[in-house]
A and B are shown apart, each in its own frame.
Chain A
Amino acid sequence: MESAVLKIENFSAFFGENQVLREINLSIPQNRITAIIGPSGCGKTTLIRCINRMHELIPNVRVSGKISLDHEDIYDTDPIIVRRQIGMVFQKPNPFPMMSIYDNVIAGYQLNGIKLSKVEKDTIVEESLKRAALWNEVKTSLHRKGTFLSGGQQQRLCIARALAMRPTVLLLDEPTSALDPKATSHVEELIVQLKDTVTILLVTHNIGQAARVSDFTAFLYVGELIEFGPTERMFTAPKNKRTEEYLTGKFG
């Protein structure tokens, strides 16, 4: 199998007394798209929030086990550093409403107090917006507020903002669940283009989306990893009976 950039070993998470992730073992291959699917409440979102340590914002969460990025334990690293290496895009587009499109893209630098020259800024903005397939639509209105864009454009702006930090891994938490079908297919195309430069972990409700864009699929059910493998194999010949039932729509 290909080289794993992100390794999750014996990982469990608890909300108070409630165990939401059970002994997850998962190796995320580099420069591939890995989809995490499963019914609501199975722990998909919790799992990826544990990867960039965003779960620490919620009180009473406890985790055990190990997650390593390039062989470094992320729980031994400052969460601020972890989050710069592992970007995240959320369900609902959340551009900063008080900033222009331009400032939104370099927000990761500006908010962290990292000084950049005008040329560096311009380069990062153009490069990130091009990678997020948004450049052509916004290149003449870079200094307008990001909230003037349509929902799909806003989501691509958020992807550009995450890419601007040049992360190793990009976490997408149901990135199209708030978008219409056309914007969704736009974002899906974009995700596929991105895998050459960044490893992508995609949480999705939409089984079709996992089938369309991902190389590998992980199926979670009630906090347990039921099956993990190449997407094509999973969808044509699932090994586990529950995977098959979920994929064929027997429950979900």
Chain B
Amino acid sequence: MKELAIRRRIIADKSFKAIVVLLSFASILPMFFILFFIITKGISVVDWTFLTHLPKPVGEIGGGISNAIVGTFMLIIISTLFSVPVGVFAGIFLCEYRKGRFPYFVKLAVETLQGIPSIVIGIIAYIWVVLTMGSFSGLSGGASLALMMLPVIITATEETLKLIPDSLREASLALGVSYPRTILKVVIPAGLSGILTGILLGVGRVAGETAPLLFTAFGSPFMNFNILKPINTLPLMIFNYATSPYPEWHTLAWGASFVLVVFVLGLNLFTKVVTRKWKVQF
């Protein structure tokens, strides 16, 4: 009787464990399928010429994605320049002033912004920047991506700084260091790894965004370094090529997907390294 109860518990225990393992395994499976699919389809397209040459007109063989790679990096730089200062300072604000109505609204606004669909952000950037300036541009694309990065950076900064013990602030203040200097020279350096992680996650999030760029950065078949002109990016190029009727463009889209996935994957691994290496032990 007693043994039966124990055996039943052991069975329940084992089957629960089996379910947990099985479902975790199921959750990583799609990732491997996606990777496998993109690698097999894309890797044959990617070579040095592919990375360093401009796209060719329909009908001509070959051509590359150099302008999209350059454009992607330009947009990342523009959006980072917009969102990092605003995001980090907003994060500091939310962490340092937790009480009151204004911080509550800021937090609510951040959460709402995070939930706004990217296509809507694209429309807003179109109305605010593209219509005002009179043309599609890299700048407007960067602005829309910055709006998407902003909540990620704010939340990461706030959460990181919250974990920094008050004793560190006290140590600094007790040495006669002013409050702003304490924040800039003690609190932020102590939380640097977390803030950097937030920035990199933000970059990873926007690197693959297409929707907000459709009517802002717009895309272009040429190499363009002018941020006031339309600019091509990897996701835009994939979208345009994959929806085109030409099979050779579909192949190029697979190649571009492969490059994009490798970039985002590399960024995520780099983020892990940064988190581990720069982590400050209290």
Contact = CB atoms under 8 A, between A and B. Distances in A.
Interface of A: 52, 54, 57, 80-84, 87-88, 90, 92, 94-98, 107-108, 110-113, 145, 147, 158, 161-162, 165
Interface string B255-282: 0000000000000000000000000111
Residue among A80, A81, A145, A165 having the largest count of chain B Cβ atoms under 10 Å: A80
Interface stretch (B116-124, B169-177, B243-251): B169-177
Interface in B174-199: 174-178, 181-182, 185-186, 189-190, 192
Given A90-B170, A97-B282, A147-B282, A81 B176 contact: yes
A112 B175 CA distance: 9
A94 B171 contact: yes
Given A96-B186, A111-B185, A147-B282, A83 B168 contact: no
B167 A92 contact: yes
Nearest to A81: B176
A94 B190 CA distance: 13
A111 B186 contact: yes
Given A97-B280, A97-B281, A98-B190, A88 B174 contact: yes
Contacts of B281: 97, 145, 147
Given A97-B190, A147-B281, A111 B177 contact: yes
Interface of B: 165, 167-178, 181-182, 185-186, 189-190, 192, 280-282
Contacts of B171: 90, 94-96, 158, 161
B280 A165 contact: no
B181 A83 contact: no
Contact of B280 (A52, A92, A98): A98
Contacts of A87: 174-175
Given A87-B175, A97-B168, A112-B181, 8 more contacts: A57-B169, A82-B176, A83-B173, A94-B170, A110-B185, A112-B177, A145-B281, A162-B175
14 contacts: A54-B173, A80-B178, A84-B175, A84-B176, A94-B167, A96-B168, A96-B190, A97-B280, A98-B192, A108-B176, A112-B175, A112-B181, A145-B281, A165-B175
Given A83-B175, A84-B176, A111 B181 contact: yes
B277 to A, nearest CB: 13
Residue among B176, B178, B192, B280 having the largest count of chain A Cβ atoms under 10 Å: B176
Given A90-B167, A94-B167, A98-B280, A111 B190 contact: no
Nearest to B172: A111
Nearest to A54: B174
Contacts of A145: 281
A207 B169 CA distance: 30
Contacts of B170: 54, 57, 90, 94
A54 B175 CA distance: 11
Residue among A87, A92, A110, A112 having the largest count of chain B Cβ atoms under 10 Å: A112
